[in-house]
Amino acid sequence: MRKLSIAVVLAAAAGGAAAQGQVNVICSVQAEWCNMISTVYARTTGTKVNVVMKGSGEALAQLIAEKENPKTDIWFGGTGDPHLQAAEQGLTIEYKSPSMPQLHDWAQQQARQSGYKTVGIYSGPLGFGYNPELLAKKKLAVPRTWADLTKADYKGEVQVANPASSGTSYTMIATLVQLMGEEKAFDYLKGLHRNVGAYPRSGTAPIKAVARGETAVSISFVHDGPGEKMQGFPVETITPADGTGAEIGSMSIIKGSRNLEAAKKFYEWALTPAAQEMAAAAKQFQLPSNKAAKVDPRVPDFKKIKLINYDYAKYGASAERRRLIARWEKEVNSLPR
């Protein structure tokens, strides 16, 4: 019923619009959300939507590779740091939406610091996913702090994505550096490495592994937990008591877009309350950036989370990302486990 009501609202908003050509989208949110926005937008506007799904690190790599001959019009979702790097590298264009005043301050700040080359569309905190059944079976406690994950009890029981391909995992490194200082953060990552069973490419893969009983604990965005739980999997989430960071999921128009007007229309639509409420309909529980969007009760309550003052400008810079990931590869990923 919820999906149907959203479609009806959008159909009315579209006003029976005539066919609008096509728009090519890299989508860096979960597959169900990507499929829902593309299907509803196509049906309500007549625009053909071509979607490629990629994690935010891989999406940025594709845009860099295609810089001279872009095949993408819009990059939708994924952690904000790579969007800021794309802006810095001239891969995206300045576009100041008339909807900007309707957005939360954090979404507007993301736009301002990029020179309006990206905008925040949702936010979500970093934390841990865990499988309570597996923890009980293995007699493991629920991890409550970052330090808990380095305890010998968790050896082989933690999954976190590879930061070279995953914006989620890069957010983890940047969070730890800001929380602990860089040297202590890398000492921590070396200790964590001993307990990591796998570094999958995608930021959502670890919590899916938790849900399916393949690992006990993941480092994930906590908004990825409720959707797995709704499917009947035993998964819970928690944010570390000693502090954590949050992503600002973003959206950008690609420089050299072949369908620029169609891209701008999609961009405007994606900032509307009705479009943003689709996230919850697709079992995704980030905080929407439009202040008028209804907030699902399963969205994490930011007031109850100890959040660091994440420096999006500094850690969204290309040189800083490259440096931190290179250091992780050299000093952490090269170690035996």
The pLDDT value given to residue 20:
64
β 22-27/74-76 pair status = parallel
Class of domain 2-124+248-303: alpha beta
Task: Annotate 151-217 with three-state secondary structure.
Answer: CHHHCCCEECCCCCCCHHHHHHHHHHHHHHCHHHHHHHHHHHHCCEEECCCCCCHHHHHHHCCCCCE
Cβ contacts of 5 within 8 Å, gap of 6 or more: none
End-to-end CA distance of the chain: 48
Where do you find CATH 3.40.190.10 in the chain? 2-124+248-303, 125-245+317-333
Q: What is the C-alpha separation between 99 and 111, in angstroms, rounded?
A: 12
What secondary structure letter does DSSP report for 49? E
The pLDDT value given to residue 17:
44
Name the pTM for this structure: 0.86
The pLDDT value given to residue 204:
92
The pLDDT value given to residue 7:
45
The pLDDT value given to residue 18:
45
| 116-166 pLDDT, tens digit each | 999 999 999 999 999 999 999 999 999 999 999 999 999 999 999 999 989
Kindly report the backbone phi and psi dihedral angles of residue 261, in degrees, each rounded to the nearest multiple of 5, phi listed first: -65, -40
The pLDDT value given to residue 6:
45
Q: Which helix (H) or strand (E) covers residue 230, if one does? A: helix 225-230
With a cut of 70, list the residues of the chain below it in pLDDT.
Answer: 1-20
Architecture of the domain whose range is 125-245+317-333: 3-Layer(aba) Sandwich (3.40)
| 183-204 pLDDT, tens digit each | 999 999 999 999 999 999 999 9
Distances (CA, A) of 162 to 55, 144, 202: 11, 22, 7
